[in-house]
Amino acid sequence: MIIDCAHYRDGRRQSDAAMSLEVAAEKCREDGFVWLGMFEPSPAELDQVRRCFGLHELAVKDAETFHLRPKVEQYESSVQLVILRTARYDDAREEVDFGEISVFVAPSFVITVRQGVASELHSARQRLEEHPELLRLGPASTLWSILDQVVESYAPVVAELERDIEQVEGTVFAGEVAPTERIYFLRREVTNFHRAVHPLLAVLSAVERSVRDSELLPYLRDVRDHLLLVNEEVSAQRDLLATILEANMAVITVEQTQVTVRQSANMERLTILATVFLPLTFVTGFFGQNFGWLLGHISGFTAFVVYGIGGLLVPLVLLYYWLRESRREELKGVGAAPAPLHRLMDG
């Protein structure tokens, strides 16, 4: 779909009326240049543009393909294809939406093919039309305006990602477990964003080398400065997320260790309780048998105290001393553990 098509000469837009592709192609033979803007065009529309402006078939197919990284290609001798990745942060979904802009730059025309929702260029065209001194420099000024618009749109994305990372960071370093899925998702978003930002440095260098007007170079260097800052911030976010992920795994490990310790303590209490009741159960079970000798010889209060109470106290006393000696041996072994290391150090 054609969004806008205009003919510029001497730094001014010649007409606000709609212009067909055939008329735009005729205007390319006059002074100035034509800027044709398209949004998600159909294959038939792109084929018509290719025939009217004489674009290379491979260049048009390249514009139809969604790329993961920005790049610049030189087709024929005068047509340059610059592919840019755009980004926009969606507050509702807390995700980054990516788009793409393919820019065909020639001495007499500029064709922009936008893909995705994060590829708005109206403000870039409007700002450039407000600066006739830049428009007089030709199609290269249009490419600068698009690059500047794309790089400026990166800053809000960096800020929103930084906010999300700070929330996760605050949770993890407060000693609480953060959702690991959320950390992985943020890392994936930052990685995809880095793929859009970092390769653009090489693209911008290639554009600077191809620009012949020295008046435009300071503007391109300004875009490079902003892009370098964004690239550094995104790289720092990637490193920080790797650290947060490691810290979160450490917190999870500590939590699991604490759970294991609590379970071990409970098992120890249950084991001691079972150990205490085991001899008592044996004694009471033995004397609870209905043998004639037991019924005939254990009678009276004295026999009850000796066999009944004493039979319960003696195992408890023996068990107490056995547990105490076992504890002493355990502590003695722990205290003696550093001795070999100490002797090695002395040696």
Q: Say if CB 308 and CB 294 are below 8 A apart.
A: no
170: left (phi over 0), alpha (psi -120 to 50) or beta: alpha
pLDDT tier at 222, thresholds 50, 70, 90: very high
pLDDT tier at 287, thresholds 50, 70, 90: low
Long-range contacts of 121-125 (CB under 8 A, 24+ apart): 121/37, 121/146, 121/149, 122/3, 122/4, 123/149, 124/148, 124/149, 125/4, 125/35, 125/37
pLDDT for residue 335? 59
pTM of the full structure: 0.73
The rounded percent of the chain whose pLDDT value lies above 90 is 33
Q: Say if CB 251 and CB 176 are below 8 A apart.
A: yes
Judge residue 97's burial from the number of C-beta atoms within 10 Å of its C-beta, 0-12 exposed, 13-18 middle, 19 or more buried.
middle
pLDDT for residue 347? 44
The rounded percent of the chain whose pLDDT value lies above 70 is 88
Pairing of strands 71-75, 95-106: unpaired
Q: Say if CB 35 and CB 109 are below 8 A apart.
A: yes
pLDDT at 295 over 50: yes
What is the spatial order of strands in the sheet that 95-106 belongs to? 12-13, 2-9, 33-39, 109-115, 95-106, 79-90, 71-75
The full set of domain ranges for the chain reads 2-252, 267-334
pLDDT for residue 249? 78
Task: Assign 41 to helix, strand or coil.
Answer: coil
**Token reading at 329:** 């041996």
Q: b/e per residue, 307-326, with b = 16+ CB within 10 A?
A: beeebeeebeeebeeeeeee
pLDDT for residue 176? 67
pLDDT for residue 178? 65
Look at residues 324, 340, 54, 68 and name the one whose alpha carbon lies nearest to residue 194.
68
pLDDT at 292 over 70: no
Q: Which is more confidently placed, 148 or 259?
A: 148
Look at residues 235, 194, 195, 208 and name the one whose alpha carbon lies nearest to residue 72.
208
Task: Name the residue with tokens 């993961």.
Answer: 68
pLDDT for residue 146? 94
Degrees to nearest 5, angle at CA 72 with 68 and 185: 20
**pLDDT tens-digit readout, 145-196:** 999 999 999 999 999 999 999 888 888 777 666 677 888 889 999 999 999 9
pLDDT tier at 234, thresholds 50, 70, 90: very high
Looking at 3.30.460.20, 3.30.1370.100, 3.40.50.1400, 3.40.50.300, the CATH number of the domain 2-252 comes to 3.30.460.20
pLDDT for residue 174? 72
Average pLDDT over residues 32-51: 91
pLDDT tier at 297, thresholds 50, 70, 90: low
pLDDT tier at 112, thresholds 50, 70, 90: very high
Q: Which is more confidently placed, 343 or 24?
A: 24
pLDDT at 141 over 50: yes
pLDDT at 293 over 90: no
pLDDT for residue 15? 83
Return phi, psi of residue 267, to 5°: -65, -35
Return phi, psi of residue 68, to 5°: -90, -20
Alpha carbons 96 and 324: distance in angstroms, whole number: 64
How many angstroms separate the Cα of 302 from the Cα of each of 185, 281, 297, 310? 77, 22, 11, 10
**Token reading at 293:** 């000798």
Look at residues 7, 29, 31, 30 and name the one whose alpha carbon lies nearest to residue 18.
7
pLDDT at 289 over 70: no
Alpha carbons 102 and 113: distance in angstroms, whole number: 5
pLDDT for residue 344? 39
Least trusted range by pLDDT, from 56-60, 224-228, 271-275: 271-275
CA atoms within 13 A on the CB side of 287: 18
pLDDT for residue 342? 43
Mean of the per-residue pLDDT values of the chain: 84
* Chain mean position to CA 244: 11
- Whether the CA torsion 288, 294, 300, 303 is positive or negative: it is negative
pLDDT for residue 2? 85
pLDDT tier at 345, thresholds 50, 70, 90: very low
Task: Name the residue with tokens 């450490």.
Answer: 250
**pLDDT tens-digit readout, 49-86:** 999 998 888 888 888 888 878 999 988 768 899 999 99
**Token reading at 169:** 């960071």
